[in-house]
Amino acid sequence: MANGGAVDERRESETVVLFSEEELREMSGVKQTGDCIEVTCGCTSHRYGDAVGRLRVFPNGDLEISCECTPGCDEDKLSPAAFEKHSGRETARKWKNNVWVIVNGEKVPLSKTVLLKYYNQSSNGSHRSQTGRVFHRDEFVRCSKCNKERRFRLRTKEECRVHHDSVANASWKCADLPFDKLTCDDDEERASRKVYRGCSRSPTCKGCTSCVCFGCEICRFSDCNCQTCTDFTTNAKA
Dist. CA 93–CA 113, nearest whole Å:
19
pLDDT of amino acid 173 = 96
pLDDT of amino acid 125 = 43
Burial of 210 (0-12, 13-18, 19+ CB in 10 A): buried
183-237 per-position pLDDT tens digit: 999 999 999 889 888 876 777 888 776 777 878 888 999 899 998 888 887 776 6
Of 7 and 175, which is predicted with more confidence? 175
Mean pLDDT lowest among 72-86, 102-116, 152-166, 201-215:
201-215
Residue 1 has pLDDT above 70, yes or no: no
Average pLDDT over residues 152-174: 93
Q: Encode 96-114: b = buried (16+ Cβ within 10 Å), e = exposed.
A: bebbbbbbeeeeeebeebe
115-130 per-position pLDDT tens digit: 988 776 554 444 444 4
pLDDT of amino acid 236 = 67
pLDDT of amino acid 44 = 92
132-158 per-position pLDDT tens digit: 455 788 999 999 999 999 999 888 889
Of 90 and 68, which is predicted with more confidence? 68
CA distance to 38, 82, 134, 159, 217, per residue, from 151 (Å) = 34, 26, 19, 11, 22
